[in-house]
Amino acid sequence: MMFDKGTDRLCILFYKGTDRLRILFHKGTDRFCIVSLDKINLPFCCVTKRDRLFLTDMNRKEISMNDDSQKLNRLTSRIFWLAHDDQFDRPILGYVRGDRFSLAIDAGNSAAHAARFAECLDAEKLPCPTFTVITHWHWDHTFGMHAVPGMTIASRGTDQMLRKVATWNWTDDAMNARLVNGEDIAFCDACIRLEYPDQPHTGEENHPSVMKDPLQRDRSTIRVVPPIMAFEGTLTLDLGGVHAVLIHVGGPHSSDSVIIYIPEEKALFLGDADGADHYFNNGCYDKEKLTALLHALESLDFTHTLPGHDEPETKGKTIAFLMEELARPTSGT
Ligand SMILES: [Zn+2]
């Protein structure tokens, strides 16, 4: 076994029958991914059950692989979400099931993330989203847009930013230059490199199993596209039996932020709207924007929020957290 140079990935080779499997573990988690398979005969074991891979030791004892976060979760009979994954900065992906149409919230940070979400919906026999609304332009919410079905919708500001990001190159030089000129930030740069790891050209990449593997991708596969539809202000979608109110709320995280209010279910998808601004405000809250966001949230009748990178929360706790941030002394004062 070995650590991949420059990343936190632990690489383990093991074998089933005559098939060699190279497994990537990600440091700090016990998630894994098969990245290659070829014919070498050594006696280690893995088994698949219910479409999931389990490793066993030589006594056939199962080695735990906790991937509960990869299942679809249910908030109400109409609202579902796929949990966030901090390792790759993957945000939650939301879903609202209407009687006639369905809505996804955010497209994920890659085609692989979008595909994982589609698999989860399929496993629950939920229809493909008719619409995917994008909460804001940040890479982790948008780089899967080219791979989602149906219509993508975003605010005018998100549309403008994505048109700009679509012109970015993803070479080391280009990424490093953006860190120097402040167009991008170190956290996102590091996570993009994890989500899109460059692969050495070993010849294994032509194997059919490799083509299906979600981690077998590199930054040359990044494709940034604008939404099909852009809106300003508020847009209400009648999904059949349930409505989705898309509100361009702006706020302290990003000026293009959209929140999605589901009045019949008393739920609110926040995206990252409740976060601080790491691009243009050094990870701090702008108090004026935070106050405006608080007023917007307080005016809506809901019981639960679904934030972009956390578990669902009650309205009371969300408001209390933001009030605390508002009361926190600004640094330097
Ligand atoms: Zn964000």
**Do 36 and 113 sit in the same domain of this protein?**
no
Interval between CA 281 and ligand 1 midpoint (Å): 13
Whether 116 and 214 have beta carbons less than 8 Å apart is answered as yes
In sequence order, what are the residues at sequence separation of 6 or more whose Cβ sits closer than 8 angstroms to the Cβ of residue 189? 175, 178, 179
Tokens of 214: 């979600």
Interval between CA 309 and ligand 1 midpoint (Å): 9
Interval between CA 272 and ligand 1 midpoint (Å): 5
Report the C-alpha gap between 278 and 258 in whole angstroms.
Answer: 17
Cα 312 to chain centroid distance, Å, stands at: 15
Q: For residue 110, tell me if it sits in a domain.
A: yes
What protein residues have CB closer than 5 angstroms to ion ligand 1?
Answer: 138, 272
Interval between CA 5 and ligand 1 midpoint (Å): 28
Note the pLDDT of residue 191: 87
Q: For residue 208, tell me if it sits in a domain.
A: no
Interval between CA 171 and ligand 1 midpoint (Å): 22
Using alpha carbons only, give the angle 146, 168, 215 rounded to the nearest 5 degrees. Answer: 50
**Do 235 and 161 sit in the same domain of this protein?**
yes
Report the C-alpha gap between 235 and 153 in whole angstroms.
Answer: 10
Report the C-alpha gap between 7 and 13 in whole angstroms.
Answer: 17
Interval between CA 138 and ligand 1 midpoint (Å): 5
**Do 21 and 138 sit in the same domain of this protein?**
no
- Of 63, 87, 103, the residue at which a domain comes to its end is 63
In sequence order, what are the residues at sequence separation of 6 or more whose Cβ sits closer than 8 angstroms to the Cβ of residue 275? 252, 253, 308, 309
Interval between CA 253 and ligand 1 midpoint (Å): 7
Q: For residue 287, tell me if it sits in a domain.
A: yes
Cα 195 to chain centroid distance, Å, stands at: 10
Interval between CA 79 and ligand 1 midpoint (Å): 22
Q: Torsions phi, psi of 82, nearest 5?
A: -95, 130
Q: Is 102 helix (H, G, I), strand (E, B) or coil?
A: strand
**Do 313 and 272 sit in the same domain of this protein?**
yes
Interval between CA 81 and ligand 1 midpoint (Å): 17
- Of 63, 92, 116, the residue at which a domain comes to its end is 63
**Do 123 and 238 sit in the same domain of this protein?**
yes
Residue 98 is part of a domain; what is its CATH number?
3.60.15.10
Report the C-alpha gap between 177 and 155 in whole angstroms.
Answer: 28
Amino acid at 53: L
**Do 58 and 99 sit in the same domain of this protein?**
no
Q: For residue 319, tell me if it sits in a domain.
A: yes
**Do 265 and 311 sit in the same domain of this protein?**
yes
Interval between CA 143 and ligand 1 midpoint (Å): 12
Note the pLDDT of residue 88: 84
Q: For residue 310, tell me if it sits in a domain.
A: yes
Tell the burial category of 212 from Cβ atoms under 10 Å away from its Cβ (0-12, 13-18, 19+): exposed
**Do 95 and 55 sit in the same domain of this protein?**
no
Tokens of 190: 């590091």
**Do 72 and 59 sit in the same domain of this protein?**
no
Count of the separate structural domains present in the chain: 2
Interval between CA 332 and ligand 1 midpoint (Å): 25
Interval between CA 200 and ligand 1 midpoint (Å): 31
Instruction: Spell 279-313 as b/e; 16+ CB within 10 A means b.
Output: eeeeeebbeebbeebbebbeebebebbbbbbbebb
Note the pLDDT of residue 190: 87
Interval between CA 136 and ligand 1 midpoint (Å): 7
Interval between CA 176 and ligand 1 midpoint (Å): 20
**Do 241 and 322 sit in the same domain of this protein?**
yes
Note the pLDDT of residue 313: 94
Picking from 97, 54, 101, 92, the residue whose alpha carbon sits closest to that of residue 72 is: 92
Segments forming the whole domain that contains residue 279: 68-165+224-327
Interval between CA 303 and ligand 1 midpoint (Å): 23
Interval between CA 236 and ligand 1 midpoint (Å): 23
Interval between CA 12 and ligand 1 midpoint (Å): 33
Q: Residue 173: which H helix or E strand, with range?
A: helix 172-181
Mean pLDDT, 10 residues at a time, over the chain (333 residues)? Answer: 42 44 46 41 41 46 48 95 90 98 97 93 95 97 95 98 96 93 90 75 44 58 95 98 98 96 98 91 90 97 96 95 90 48
Interval between CA 93 and ligand 1 midpoint (Å): 13
**Do 130 and 50 sit in the same domain of this protein?**
no
Amino acid at 148: V
Which residue carries 């409740």 as its tokens?
Answer: 274
Interval between CA 21 and ligand 1 midpoint (Å): 35
Cα 99 to chain centroid distance, Å, stands at: 26
**Do 261 and 239 sit in the same domain of this protein?**
yes
